[in-house]
């Protein structure tokens, strides 16, 4: 199939493109390179630099490359920034997503796998979080993802758009050639590894007064390859499903201090921590249940072990201490 991958120069999008090509698909890799890295574009993909704000440009891409399905990963993703600039997030994640849907409908493309977020749940009432949990986003980022999911549901009813949304928390790890390179970096594991590389003095831990075994927050970490393979499974299932939502979870969560200790064991570095106060709105535990996608699509994480996840990231960061920059 000819598959359009938006956000294909980003951390997850680049690995999704890699997995699709391994499966024999032709990938048209779309990115505006505002946050993505051109070095992350898979060599066998066809790269098109374009912004989702460009409605006519999107239509030309869909038409010229005979697109048959879309993997939509392009998004503004920082939770904190979404609270200070919600307009930017609703514009990028909702309005520009509508531009993409318009281009798809005009040229008869009726399949989309949407990279959503478990942030749609907000602070959950029960752990692990199932797809039946109430959706009550606590930030503009989660709200923007939920709004686009609702749009997909209406487009499915009105225009026969087949769609699957994947909700997950923290992508982690790396492949041999693709890794995590955000500017600025806000994710825990790459920042822990920056300390191991001597690029940061310590890891900042936001609160150790939570009702968890070691008093630090517990989060769900999923290897980026497992996430990418879930996208491929979702695409393959669209012939049978017309509308579905799946959580992706690792099966268990890991605390901040567990991540730091695992990184110490993997890297052999001391990795000092600096304890600060809680961040407003940080729940004690966020872990998603993947029972539905496991039962229906047969998805199972290949990298459930925390140290193995960190080890793949460590190998990439050692080879790319400055990210994709030479």
Query: Domain 172-220+251-319's class?
Result: alpha beta
Q: What is the largest CA-CA distance in the chain?
A: 57
Give the per-residue SS3 of 80-105.
Answer: HHHHHCHHHHHHHHHHHHHHHHHHHH
- DSSP, collapsed to helix, strand or coil, labels residue 285 as strand
Name the class of domain 2-171+223-247.
alpha beta
CB of 152 within 8 A of CB of 93?
Answer: no
pLDDT at 77: 78
User: Residue 99 in contact with residue 55, Cβ under 8 Å?
Assistant: yes
The percent helix, strand, coil of the chain (3-state, each to 5) is 40, 15, 40
Report the distance separating Cα 272 and Cα 261, nearest Å.
Answer: 10
Q: Which residue ranges does the chain devote to CATH 3.90.25.10?
A: 172-220+251-319
Three-class SS of residue 43? coil
C-alpha pair distances (Å), 4 with each of 163, 226, 231, 243, 300? 14, 20, 13, 19, 25
The answer to whether 141 is a known catalytic residue is yes
Quote the pLDDT of residue 123. Answer: 86
* Residues carrying CATH 3.40.50.720, the chain: 2-171+223-247
Angle between helices 11-22 and 224-237 (to 10 degrees): 60
pTM here is: 0.95
- Residue 326 has what pLDDT? 55
| DSSP calls for 205-225 | EE-S-SSSTTSS-EE-EEEHH
Find out whether 249 and 290 touch, Cβ atoms under 8 Å: yes
* Annotated catalytic residue within 141, 210, 221, 246: 141
3-state secondary structure of 295: helix
Cα 87 to Cα 22, 91, 120, distances in angstroms: 37, 6, 18
Q: Write down the number of H helices and E strands in the chain.
A: 11, 14
- Coil/strand/helix, residue 115: strand
- Whole-number Å distance between alpha carbons of 220 and 189: 12
What is the pLDDT, as a whole number, of residue 263? 98
Q: How far apart are the first and last CA of the chain?
A: 34
pLDDT tens digit at each of 326 positions of the chain:
999 999 999 999 999 999 999 999 999 999 999 989 999 998 899 999 999 999 999 999 999 999 999 999 999 877 777 778 899 999 999 999 999 999 999 999 999 999 999 999 998 889 999 999 999 998 899 999 999 999 999 999 999 999 999 999 999 999 999 999 988 888 999 999 999 999 999 999 999 999 999 999 999 999 999 999 999 999 999 987 789 999 999 878 999 999 999 999 999 999 999 999 987 767 889 999 999 999 999 999 999 999 999 999 999 999 999 999 85
Query: On the CB side of 257, how many CA atoms lie within 13 Å of its CA?
Result: 13
**CB-based contact 293:230 (threshold 8 Å):** yes
Do the Cβ atoms of 258 and 280 come closer than 8 Å? no
> In the Cβ-directed half-sphere of 2, how many Cα atoms lie within 13 Å?
13
């Amino acid at each position: 199939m000819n598959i359009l991958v938006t956000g294909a120069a980003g951390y997850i999008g680049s690995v999704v493109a890699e997995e699709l090509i391994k499966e024999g698909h032709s990938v048209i890799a779309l990115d505006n390179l505002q946050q993505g890295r051109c070095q992350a574009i898979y060599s066998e993909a066809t790269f098109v630099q374009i912004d989702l704000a460009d409605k006519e440009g999107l239509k030309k891409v869909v038409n010229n490359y005979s697109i048959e399905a879309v993997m939509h990963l392009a998004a503004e993703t920082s939770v904190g920034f979404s609270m200070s600039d919600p307009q930017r997030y609703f514009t990028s994640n909702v309005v520009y997503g509508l531009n993409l849907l318009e281009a798809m409908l005009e040229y008869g493309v009726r399949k989309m796998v949407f990279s959503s977020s478990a942030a749609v749940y907000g602070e959950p009432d029960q752990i692990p979080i199932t797809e039946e949990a109430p959706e009550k986003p606590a930030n503009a980022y989660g709200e923007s993802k939920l709004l686009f999911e609702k749009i997909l549901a209406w487009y499915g009813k009105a225009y026969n758009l087949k769609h699957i949304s994947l909700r997950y928390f923290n992508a982690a790890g790396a492949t041999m050639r693709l890794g995590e390179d955000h500017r600025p970096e806000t994710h825990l594991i790459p920042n822990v590894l920056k300390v191991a590389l001597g690029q940061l003095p310590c890891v900042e831990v936001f609160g150790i007064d939570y009702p968890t075994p070691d008093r630090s927050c517990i989060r769900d970490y999923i290897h980026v390859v497992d996430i990418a393979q879930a996208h491929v499974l979702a695409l393959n299932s669209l012939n049978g499903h017309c509308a579905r939502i799946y959580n992706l979870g690792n099966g268990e969560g890991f605390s901040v201090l567990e991540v730091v200790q695992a990184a110490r064991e993997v890297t052999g570095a001391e990795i000092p921590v600096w304890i600060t106060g809680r961040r407003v709105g940080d729940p004690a535990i966020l872990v998603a249940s993947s029972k539905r996608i496991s039962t229906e699509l047969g998805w199972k994480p290949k990298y459930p072990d925390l140290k193995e996840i960190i080890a793949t990231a460590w190998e990439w960061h050692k080879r790319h201490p400055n990210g994709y920059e030479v």
